[in-house]
Chain A
Amino acid sequence: MATLLQRLRQMRMGRVKSESQMIQMYGADLSRQVLPVPIDIAPNDPIVAYFLSAPGAVEIDKLHLESPALQALKTTGVKIAVPLVSQGELVGLLNLGPRLSEQDYSTDDRGLLNTLATQSAPAVRVAQLVRDQQVQARANERIQHELRVAQLIQKTLLPKDLPALPGWHVNAYYQAARQVGGDFYDFIYFDDDRLGLVIGDVTDKGVPAALLMATTRSVLRAVAQRVVAPGQVLERVNEILQPDIPPKMFVTCLYALLDPSSGLLQYANAGHDLPYHRHRTGEVTELRATGMPLGLMPGMSYEEKETVVAPGECILFHSDGIVEAHNTHREMFSFPRLMRLVGEHEDGDTLKEFILDDLAAFTGPDWEQEDDITMVTLQRTKSYGVTEVASRSTSRANEANSDNGNDWRTLAEFTLPSERGNERLAMEQVAAAVRTLNLPTKRLEQLKTAVAEATMNAMEHGNHYQPEKPVSIEVLASQKALSVHVKDHGVTRSLPAHPDIEAPDLEAKLAELQTPRGWGLFLIKNMVDEMRISNDASHHTIELIMYLEGEGHASEKT
């Protein structure tokens, strides 16, 4: 029996799962070792209740219960089982097989086993608790390590720098929750000065979310370089990601493409929180475009929308970490509250601080951040500063005018919705911009007519009078010349760079053999010294050039 006690001390008791208990079996033959065979007992097995109520050692062969554990005990040859009970909980069994002598266990044997069970049960329980704690500590350590890895991935992949766009201020804020979520944002730069903005959120947390975020970011960057339209970009990204995304994981993602010169923002949305557009009037609208999150289903298409961010206006891109934050009363911060804040705060540069201050006041000082918080603000400045655009203007104007060595400066830059009559606004704004040049009245009137006609051409033939498609106008001046760029978004037409514009056939028009219209380009050509047309993938630009000195004045041509 001394050997039995020794064996008991060595016995490896424990639970393989929290809801079941492992039971060790030893042969009672003191001269021969029998390897322990663990047996699981489900918590709802009726034998548990039987053992808890048993006064001591139980003869297994005499038990008749519908019990899988009992069946297992019988199969493995257990004859006597002594419950180890601590604080009303079955923590193990002392299992004994048949004696080699084939004699039954004596009353003394049973008494000793009962005593052993009574004394060892608390020790076994303590051993179990210690082991559970060690398992938990190892699990915690692994989680902490995972969090550090996730944070590292996230930190590495978020943009290091903010875009430097003349006339725009872009700001970003990211604050990881303790259990790093899958928020991300990104900026994609294109050769034609356009800027791609990405904001997204991966379901799940930790390393899996970080890895999926990294993959999404890479795929999106690659696709955006080949495909222009945001809706098609998301469609293609979804096709690539979907087969490899684990079940129950997906990515919400908004992709927007900004043309900084016109303020045109095209966007598509794969189920991400809607950005807010603060207009000059203080009105706030949602940028709504429909689309399923990435990775859920193949063959998805994504609605594509666009808006124009006018000077002084701001866009807020955000993740759900803000609106789903709770205060001490378990109330949510909510979309309406965020929307209201965007409307109340005019300055996009400090909008994120304004929101964070309000969030802090809402949640209280002891708030533990529940999810990642991400914000990207896109603020168009109210007016261009000359110094801010000098270098860009110089290069563009030099290229256009072969006017090397001159310092070009931007006198004005603005956009107008394509609405009938807005050419009057264009000509008046250009006239105001060139006031300091003191053009002779005749030259000024010529310039105004040319600007009005170029603007009408852009609104009508380029933008088809769709108000959401703007006409962008830039006025540049050097010592020698004045240059006005009028740009549309007419992707469907292509104009020759140096159109051969003939005088309209007035006789044919008067004879009603031709439409009376068709005077626009002819007028422009005769109002300015040079007219040039350039096309790119999505714009046509008419450039009007007037020399401020020397030969070539339009006035002299007439």
Chain B
Amino acid sequence: MPAKRLEAHVRQQPRVAIVDLEGEIDSFAEDALNAAYAKAESQNANVILLNFSKVDYINSTGIALIVGLLARARKSKRHLLACGLSDHYVEIFQITRLVDFMSVFPDETSALVEGSKMT
């Protein structure tokens, strides 16, 4: 099956920078993910929302990349949120305890509602 390399684009919403992720989050995704996150940071957003609705695969290397982003966010006192995860990856975020450090929302709308309160 053809690999779907990650594409990441940043959308600026009021008070929240949304990083739309599409493809797979694995070792190949590092550059795209970090570049998108850096762009989101550069927009002075205090809340960054990772939109996983078009992500169909996250492996342990991808988890490590997300942990890295979360560490960066905590360092710069930003809130990192997630939305659009499938049930399976919500389970993985729970097992890895990522949910203890980043709020996970079922969809973008609910995430933006909560995110706007965090600013």
Closest to B75 in A: A512
Closest 9 CB pairs of A and B: A445-B88, A519-B60, A516-B67, A516-B64, A517-B64, A520-B60, A516-B68, A510-B71, A526-B95
Complex Cα distance, B98 from A446, in Å, reads 18
Residues on A close to B: CB < 8 A? 420-421, 423-425, 428, 442, 445-446, 449, 452-453, 456, 503-504, 506, 509-512, 515-520, 522-523, 526, 558
Consensus secondary structure, chain A interface: helix
Shortest distance between the CB of A32 and any CB in chain B (Å): 109
> Among the listed A423, A510, A526, which residue makes an inter-chain contact with B59, where contact means beta carbons less than 8 Å apart?
A423
In the assembled complex, which residues on chain A have CB atoms less than 8 Å from the CB atom of B57?
A: 424, 452
Within 8 Å by CB of B3, from A421, A511, A518, lies: A421
With A506-B96, A506-B98, A510-B71 as known contacts, state yes or no: A519 contacts B63, CB within 8 Å.
yes
Q: Jot down 21 A-B pairs with beta carbons below 8 A, ordered by A.
A: A420-B27, A421-B28, A425-B1, A442-B88, A445-B87, A452-B57, A453-B59, A506-B96, A506-B97, A510-B71, A510-B74, A511-B71, A512-B75, A515-B64, A516-B64, A516-B65, A519-B96, A523-B60, A558-B91, A558-B94, A558-B95
Q: Bound complex: CA of A423 vs CA of B57, how far in Å? A: 11
Q: What's the nearest-Cβ distance from chain A to residue B35, in Å?
A: 17
Q: How far is the CA of A153 from the CA of B119 in the complex (A)?
A: 91
In the assembly, what is the distance between CA of A423 and CA of B70, in Å?
A: 26
Taken together as a complex, chains A and B put the C-alpha atoms of A445 and B65 apart, in Å, by 21
A452: chain B residues at CB < 8 Å are 57, 59
Q: Pick the contact of A506 from B1, B87, B101 — CB < 8 Å?
A: B101
With the chains together, A526 CA to B63 CA distance in Å?
15
Residues in chain B near residue A519, CB distance under 8 A: 60, 63-64, 96
Instruction: Mark B61-101 against chain A: 1 for CB-CB distance below 8 A, else 0.
Output: 10111011011001100000000001110011011111011
Minimal beta-carbon separation of A180 from chain B (angstroms): 55
Q: Which residues of A contact B101 (CB under 8 A)?
A: 506, 510
B26 at the interface (CB under 8 A from A): yes
Residue of A nearest to B59 (CB): A452
Q: Is the CB of A510 within 8 A of B70?
A: yes
Kindly list chain B residues whose C-beta atoms are within 8 Å of the C-beta of A510.
67, 70-71, 74, 101
Other contacts beyond A456-B61, A519-B64: 7, CB < 8 A:
A424-B24, A445-B86, A445-B87, A506-B96, A506-B98, A518-B64, A523-B95
- Bound Cα distance from A15 to B106, whole angstroms: 109
Pick the residue among B1, B27, B71, B86 that contacts A509 (CB under 8 A). Answer: B71
